[in-house]
Amino acid sequence: MKILAGNGNLPLARAIAGYLELQLTDASVRRFADEEVFVEINENVRGEDVFVIQSTSYPTNDNLMELLICIDALRRASAKRITAVMPYFGYARQDRKPGPRTPISAKLVANLITTAGADRVLAVDLHAGQIQGFFDIPTDNLFAAPVMAADILARNGDAGLMVVSPDVGGVVRARALAKRLNNAPLSIVDKRRDKPGVSEVMNIIGDVKGRTCILIDDIIDSGGTLCNAAQALMDAGAASVTAYITHGVLSGAAVSRVNNSALKELVITDSILPTEETQESNKIRLLTIAPLIGEAIRRIADESSVSSLFD
């Protein structure tokens, strides 16, 4: 087994390799003067089971091209099996047609990865479960919930907890976390906009008064919805609101928005390389998923069960 890393999230790749007690494969992933991506693998990979670790986060297209070219280089070097390990799957939010004449970009990216030569895909908390069906190769979708649940219980215990979904679409994810928190009660933030140009009305389904609220979601981008939900929960009498989000995209003024919000803390995983601003924030904490991904990689290499990780 070999671990090859792109430039998308090198600290996470090194942590995964450390968990597996392996060295990263010696390779050069660099740019020509015109920004073309060039990959050169400096050791023999013939007949090897190779895992390419690359988050397709910002800059999304550059990181995606790195992944595709790494896969192509490995295929041409006669690797036995190539697994694309994508802690964050870019374009995942474009999983359906929201209107006429719009693309389903998640399916296009799946086609590109398959055509490049990947034999398998390993992702973490895909935005939509149906993305697994966009691939014609085996696809494993890992869940960060066990890591989050362990952290929540270690810091808060299970007394007075309430798991909150920031929208109706995230109820399944919230219910799964609540089950791991000794069947904590569940609440939902119902977000409505009566007409265009009118601010959203946040209705809280469930009694959150005096509760330690845990907001759970897969992606935080601009942070607007999450911060508004936190404020609505505090207005409804919550004791505190902490958000646990798998993928901290945090674009634009998101970090500033979180710093000035009613959130007690935002906990994100290291699926995306955090910016300097994110690391300096006293309200944002990083939770590593390197052992989770590392153990999944070990089980794939050993041909043992990955799903039992979540039993």
pLDDT tens-digit profile, the chain (311 residues): 999 999 999 999 999 999 999 999 999 999 999 999 999 999 999 999 999 999 999 999 999 999 999 999 999 999 999 999 999 999 999 999 989 999 999 999 999 999 999 999 999 999 998 999 999 999 999 999 999 999 999 999 888 999 999 988 899 999 999 999 999 999 999 877 665 555 476 789 999 999 999 999 999 999 988 999 999 999 999 999 999 999 999 999 999 999 999 999 999 999 999 999 999 999 999 999 999 999 999 999 999 999 999 98
- State the DSSP code for 33: T
Q: Are 253 and 280 a contacting pair, CB within 8 Å? A: no
- Identify the pLDDT of residue 196: 56
Is residue 31 part of an annotated ligand binding site?
A: no
* Beta pairing class for 161-165 and 139-142: unpaired
Q: In which element (H, E) is residue 122 found?
A: strand 120-124
- Identify the pLDDT of residue 214: 97
Catalytic-labelled residue, pool 179, 191, 264, 283 = 191
- Identify the pLDDT of residue 201: 62
Q: Assess whether 191 carries a catalytic annotation.
A: yes
Is residue 223 part of an annotated ligand binding site?
A: yes
Is residue 231 part of an annotated ligand binding site?
A: no
Is residue 157 part of an annotated ligand binding site?
A: no
- Identify the pLDDT of residue 31: 94
* Within this chain, domains 2-142+291-310 and 145-288 share the same CATH topology: yes
Question: What is the spatial distance between Cα 241 and Cα 227, in angstroms, rounded to a whole number?
Answer: 10
Question: What is the spatial distance between Cα 226 and Cα 228, in angstroms, rounded to a whole number?
Answer: 5
Q: Are 261 and 227 a contacting pair, CB within 8 Å? A: yes
Residue 195: φ, ψ to 5°: -160, 160
Which of 223, 124, 114 shows the shortest CA–CA distance to 166? 223
What residue spans define the domains of the chain?
2-142+291-310, 145-288
Q: Right CATH number for 2-142+291-310 from 3.40.50.2020, 3.30.1360.120, 1.10.1740.10, 3.40.1280.10?
A: 3.40.50.2020
> What are the residues facing 205 on neighbouring strands?
188
Question: What is the spatial distance between Cα 110 and Cα 223, in angstroms, rounded to a whole number?
Answer: 27
Q: Are 218 and 125 a contacting pair, CB within 8 Å? A: yes
Is residue 165 part of an annotated ligand binding site?
A: no
Q: What is the CATH number of domain 145-288?
A: 3.40.50.2020
SS3 206: coil
Look up residue 131 and give its two tokens. Answer: 């993305």
Q: How far apart are the first and last CA of the chain?
A: 26
Is residue 34 part of an annotated ligand binding site?
A: yes
- Identify the pLDDT of residue 118: 98
pTM here is 0.93
- Identify the pLDDT of residue 203: 87
Q: Are 134 and 203 a contacting pair, CB within 8 Å? A: no
How many residues are listed for the chain in this entry?
311
Integer CA distances (angstroms), 113 to 45, 107, 134, in order: 19, 10, 11
